[in-house]
Amino acid sequence: MDLYKLAFNNIRRRKLRSALTMLGIIIGVATIMVLVGITAGATSVVKEETSAYMYDLTVSPAGSTGSYLMDNQTASKVEAYSKLYDTKEFTVFKQTINGQELAVQGTNDWKQLRLKTGSPGVVMDYSIADTLGYKVGSKVNVDGKEMAITGIAKEDGSALYINQALAKEMQDNRVSIITAKTHGDPKTVADALEKDVGNVTVETKSDKVAEVQEMADKSMLFASLIASVGLLVGIISVVNTMFISVMERTRELGVLKAIGFTNKQIMGSTLFEAGILGFIGAVVGVIVGAIGIVALANVLNFTDYMSEMLPAWLIVSAIAGSTLLSILAGLYPAVRASKLNVVEALRNE
């Protein structure tokens, strides 16, 4: 008799119980896949946008000034600083349009903006455009000026992008941020700039990247911890199922031992059954999770980052980890099964 074939038969004989046990693992694995995948996708989006910044420094008003806009005199000092070149200004301000608060962002670098439709000029994020019912050609009133929307951006935000010169004019020639490249080490130039100009905060590109990386690491850890709770529930159900299986098959196990099967073989069969439950549950969970990731990627417009959201290591880790945990969960029931007294087991009804 093949004990491993017997393990398959045990799963088939108790289809409903086996399915419910695997359901816990499926939910746990699928949750891990979706949370980790979406977090990885969002991290890739932010990292790509951050690394695409073509500057070494960002200069903004110091927190002590109480304003998020830099006056024209300070901006002129920054732009005239000898260790900076290729400076760019950006003016950002809030504006309420049809009861919704939007961030109006001035820009001259339209290549950085991903357009869903239309052309640069006056571009609105697609989510807020859908909410307000705007499309290309719709009229929008910003700071008393009526403008026609020329494009819809792919970004899922609530921003309206206009030319920097116009945004600056609307805010009395003030700017929110100045970006620049540096002659020499960015960190050294940043320290000197803060000291020489005053009333400004200067961050280097590496500061920004490190900040994004730290945020991404924390998000990934948080998502993994939440998802692990779901998988833990599935693993506990494996322990419960294997215990009940051993109790119900006590007489059967006694017969097997009476005809010559060793404790090691009995234990191996029980562990194999637990591993099969974990493996099948993990494979189905990965499939369900992958479907969820694809669906959410379409909703969040992350389809360009599918390889980062659904990496091979995540699939392999989910299946291998769940199978291993299920085997470990079946260890104690397997030990009990292997140590059954033959006479007492045969007396069991």
* 105-123: pLDDT as tens digits: 998 888 878 888 999 999 9
Helix H, strand E, coil C: the string for the chain is: CCHHHHHHHHHHHCHHHHHHHHHHHHHHHHHHHHHHHHHHHHHHHHHHHHHCCCCCEEEEECHHHCCCCECHHHHHHHHCCCCEEEEEEECEEEEEECCEEEEEEEECCHHHCCEEEECCCCEEEHHHHHHHCCCCCCEEEECCEEEECCEEECCCCCEEEEEHHHHHHHCCCCECEEEEEECCCHHHHHHHHHHHHCCEEEEEHHHHHHHHHHHHHHHHHHHHHHHHHHHHHHHHHHHHHHHHHHHHCHHHHHHHHHCCCCHHHHHHHHHHHHHHHHHHHHHHHHHHHHHHHHHHHHHHCCHHHHHHHCCHHHHHHHHHHHHHHHHHHCHHHHHHHHCCCHHHHHHCC
Summarised one tens digit per residue, pLDDT across range 283-342 is 999 999 999 989 888 887 777 788 888 889 889 988 998 888 888 888 888 888 788 777
Say whether pLDDT at 128 is over 70: yes
Q: What is the pLDDT of residue 250?
A: 77
User: pLDDT band at residue 125, thresholds of 50, 70 and 90?
Assistant: very high
Mean pLDDT check: name the lowest of 83-97, 176-190, 244-258, 319-333. Answer: 244-258
Q: What is the pLDDT of residue 50?
A: 67
